[in-house]
Amino acid sequence: MEGLRLDRREFLKYAGIATSTLLASACAAGTPAPTAAPPTAAPTEAAATPAAPAETPAAPAKYKEPPALAELVKAGKLPPVEERLPKEPLVLDVVEEIGQYGGNWRRVWLGPSDAYGMYRIVGETLLKWSPDSTKVIPNVAKSWEVNEDATEFTLHLREGMRWSDGHPFTADDFMFWYEDIQLNEELTPVKFSRMMLGDEFGKMEKIDDYTVKISFSRSYGLFEMQMASEFVCYAPKHYLQQFHPKYADKDKLEAAIKEAGVETWNQLFANKNSWLNNKELPVLHPWITNGEPTATLWVCERNPYYWKVDPQGNQLPYIDRVTHELLQDRQLVTLKAIAGEIDMQYRHMQVKDIPLYMENREKGDYRVLMWPNTLGSEFVLMFNQNWDKDPVVAQFLRSKEFRRALSVAINREEISKVAYLGLAVPRQSTLIPESPGYNPDWEKAWTEYDPDKANQMLDELGLTEKDSDGFRLRPDKQGPLTIIISAVGIGEAHELVKTYWEAVGIKTILDNQERSVHYEKMAANELQVATWGNEEMIYPLFLVYPWWVMPYGTASRIAPLSGLWYASGGKQGVKPEGDLLRVIELYEEAKATPDEQKRFEVAMEMMRLNAENLWTIGTVVTREWPVIVKNKFRNVPEKHLLGTVNLAPGNANPPTWFFKQA
């Protein structure tokens, strides 16, 4: 969902159409997949997508490098490949064949606010999700151990691994991140949430140069998955310390602040610690920025110290450079794609453009892959359980029967036809079929279009009297019962839902909100019913991203104030009651327990409560999104689960992708 950031402008501009399509693509831009199953066998069938060559092959004896780097070595400008690689480089298997070096991977983007798309390709997390998103596998750390009650996590690093400037990567870089970045209140007012257990921030210790331990005072069984989910807990100390007052010379730091035109050292530090803007920042990424991201063409070049190899010992990545052309408008992405000027990309591709993509496949010399996503439902209606401006309306928003009645009043087939080219399937927002624990009953519950039944249910709730327009009167007879649907961009789906609800006598108002207004009102608890798309509906990824299934924060529209209550450890907000509180308790249990089986059961109970209560009414979902890949661009899996938490397509190993030369 970070995708959203980039998409702000899109929302405003095209807001019209199906919020979710946009959303979808936005997020899609990075969406993940499924299941993490730590060492113990998961209680599940394997999740999602096929592909996924599994375990790490044995490391080859001798290493090879790209010709361009070999020349630098010959010229004495770079140490030989054996010295650049760690003792045990990470070996990535290839989907199709051993690749060839070279080439320029052309992509398009909407500017620096869209950088998350590139991050999903280059980001190197501590651990990562396997290509099929079913389990946690090594990445930066070569191995790890968890103690019995899941309070201590010991990480083993790769000896001889180096930053992109050749400096050794060690436990000191972890401690710098922990002590000098995270624990520095001035620099980091908001601590890294994945390392938070309740209000406790995990403790990190250096055991030796290549061993780090993270510990908590209570069990945190979910932490293993957290470490694979966008988890980066290291920073190049040797470089960044010159901008940190603890290490830097005071006068030099002052001078640097002045020169950069900023006001405080933490602003300077943040600027210097940007992989996007700062060419000098040492990183672990396969490609490093080598230009201004604000220019028309943003160029990233290969990292000569990249620490992964293919099964034959060729240092990765295969592709020399990745370029992003700056487009000002999302519609142009489609034009670029069909003109064959994009080598591989799915970010910003849209379902509604599939006919265009298909039509121009031969002319543009590309193929169109369809990758599954984790959306439970693309267009959902979230009923605010905390709403309190009008007790009569609030009473209905909190009524399970009322929500169910409104759910069966919706004609999902028609929404699919009108707003999604008929490509979307009706379903509630619950676990997707690929997920362990998938339950078709939850998926189908209250999705059958049946206005008669809806009318009957509403009658039974006492809403029997109607005004002259046919709208049901409030029990206190103060005009018709009116529901307000708020959204960032009103689209066809919204209009349809309004007609369905009004057809059963519930007056409905559509409130089109600008994005910041939406968030302001959300935080102020002023939304009755909000629409959005629900992603990460797959076990266990939804545990790492629980916004949609429980009050997790103010962005949980089903109960923003209870979300605040949860996020603040009970200090602020409104304490939830009944099932809403139960679901929070269950989550805490799932988060803590080291027992995989137990976690699965608890998580399923959370999902059952969601299906039962229908705090969120789901409508339809487009199960797969288009991916444009040039025909000569190889090693891209046919299917790959697009999730947020799994950092897709990063877990499909982009460094192994290559251009097949004739």
Contact residues for other proteins, defined by CB under 8 A: 1-2, 4-5, 8-9, 12, 106, 111-113, 185, 189-190, 192-194, 230, 261-262, 264, 266-267, 270-271, 274, 277, 291-292, 294-297, 299, 323, 325-329, 332, 335-336, 338-341, 363-364, 514-517, 519-520, 544-545, 547, 552-555, 563, 567-568, 572
Contact 371, 133 (CB under 8 A): no
CA dist 9 and 23 (Å) reads: 12
Query: Which one-letter amino acid corresponds to residue 124?
Result: E
> Residue 87 or 258: which CB sits closer to other proteins?
258
Contacts of 1 (CB under 8 A, 6+ apart): 26, 27, 535, 545, 547, 644
Beta strands 321-326 and 104-109, pairing class: parallel
Q: Burial-class residue 119 by CB neighbours within 10 Å (0-12, 13-18, 19+).
A: middle
Spell out the residues 6+ positions from residue 596 whose beta carbon is closer than 8 angstroms to its own.
37, 38, 40, 41, 42, 43, 221
Distances (CA, A) of 592 to 193, 546, 581, 585: 15, 15, 17, 11
> Nearest approach, Cβ of 98 to other proteins (angstroms)?
28
At 69 the three-state DSSP class reads: helix
Quote the least distance from Cβ 516 to other proteins, whole Å: 4
76 dihedral zone (left: phi>0; alpha: psi -120 to 50; beta): left
- Smaller CB separation from other proteins, 214 or 342: 342
CA–CA separation, 377 and 648 (whole Å) = 19
Q: Which is nearer to other proteins, 341 or 624 (CB)?
A: 341
Fill in the DSSP letter of residue 210.
T
CB of 341 to other proteins, least distance (A): 6
Minimum gap (Å) between residue 305 Cβ and other proteins: 24
CB of 188 to other proteins, least distance (A): 9
Are 538 and 432 in contact, with CB atoms under 8 Å apart? yes
Is the Cβ of residue 163 or residue 192 nearer to other proteins in the bound state? 192
Residue 327 CB, shortest distance to other proteins, in Å, is 5
Q: Which is nearer to other proteins, 93 or 301 (CB)?
A: 301
The residue among 486 and 653 lying less far from other proteins, judged by its C-beta, is 486
CB of 273 to other proteins, least distance (A): 11
Say how far apart CA 650 and CA 286 lie, in whole Å: 11
| Structure tokens that stand for 313 in this block | 């010992």
State the minimum distance, in angstroms, from the CB of residue 205 to other proteins: 24
Given a contact cutoff of 8 angstroms between Cβ atoms, the answer to whether 233 and 223 are in contact is no
The residue to which tokens 């501009």 are assigned: 13
CA distances 445 to 285, 410, 442, 547, 614, Å, are 45, 13, 5, 22, 9
CA-based R_g, the chain, Å: 26
> Given the complex with other proteins, which of 329 and 465 has the nearer CB atom?
329
Taking the least distance from each CB to other proteins, the nearer of 12 and 509 is: 12
Q: Write the single-letter amino acid at 501.
A: W
Could you report how far apart the first and last alpha carbons of the chain are, in Å? 39
**Whole-number minimum distance, CB 153 to other proteins, in Å?**
19
Query: Which residue, 158 or 518, has its beta carbon nearer to other proteins?
Result: 518
**Residue (505 or 563) nearer to other proteins, CB:** 563
Least distance from other proteins to the Cβ atom of residue 274, Å: 7
Please identify, using beta-carbon distances, which residue of 294 and 478 lies nearer to other proteins.
294
CA-to-CA dists, residue 66 to 58, 613, 630, 653, angstroms: 21, 57, 22, 18
Residue whose token pair is 């805490």: 588
Yes or no: say if 592 and 221 are a contact pair by the CB < 8 Å rule: yes
**At closest approach, how far in Å is the CB of 521 from other proteins?**
9
Q: How far is the CB of 384 from other proteins (least distance, A)?
A: 16
**Residue pair 304/66 in contact by the 8 Å Cβ criterion:** no
- Report how far residue 540's alpha carbon sits from residue 134's, in angstroms, rounded to the nearest whole number: 9
Closest CA to 657 of 163, 92, 161: 92
Residue found by looking up tokens 């933490």 in the block: 266
Task: Tell me whether residue 76 or residue 189 sits nearer to other proteins (CB atom).
Answer: 189
Minimum distance between the CB of residue 116 and other proteins, rounded to whole angstroms?
A: 9
C-beta of 193 vs 597, nearer to other proteins: 193
